[in-house]
Amino acid sequence: MISVLFVCLGNICRSPVAEGIFKKLVKEKGLEDKIICDSAGTSSFHNGNSPDPRSTANAKKNGILLNHRSRQFTEKDAEDFRYILAMDNSNFSNIQELLSQKEGKDGQRYMMRDFDPNAKGADVPDPYYGAGDGFQEVFEILDRSCTVFLDFLIEEHGLDKIS
């Protein structure tokens, strides 16, 4: 099973939306028995909370239902998830710092937008303190990035050759 974890700061805006989009894409490709995903935050600010209502509303407007409770990223996630995708440089650094002293198995770490053909390696902006249209911008960035990332996984693991 290929395991993927999306990580942002509070796990209420960007990463649960990435998780929701990715789950839908995986289902559309019929790969639910090959790929699983989750999301987490590098902070514990919102542990146990549902996604931000603005994220939920915008995702729903775009055909994605979010069903997630915020949780904090832990060292165990590096063992449980083969791919870890951070939404921005700050969260990527937090992940690296947390795992720098850890020995053993470690997930492959990427920036989410390493898979965005429009802005490779850029941060996914945090819409939390911005206007409502920021949530749509983030959705579009994540939709593009998740699509390319799934194509990467399909190619990397030869999933198009498996029935």
Q: What is the per-residue burial (b if ≥16 Cβ within 10 Å, else e) of 111-123?
A: bbbbbbeeeeeeb
In the block, residue with structure tokens 């959705």 = 139
Residue 19 near residue 39 (C-beta atoms within 8 A): yes
> Is it the case that residue 132 has pLDDT exceeding 80?
no
pTM: 0.94
Q: Give CA–CA dist 84/95, Å, rounded.
A: 9
Q: Which residue in 8, 13, 37, 146 is the catalytic one?
A: 8
Q: Which residues pair with 38 in a beta bridge?
A: 5
Environment class of 2 (CB within 10 Å of its CB; exposed 0-12, middle 13-18, buried 19+): middle
Catalytic site residue 8?
yes
**What's the pLDDT tens digit per position in 57-97?**
999 999 999 999 999 999 999 899 999 999 999 999 999 99
Q: Which residue in 52, 77, 126, 143 is the catalytic one?
A: 126
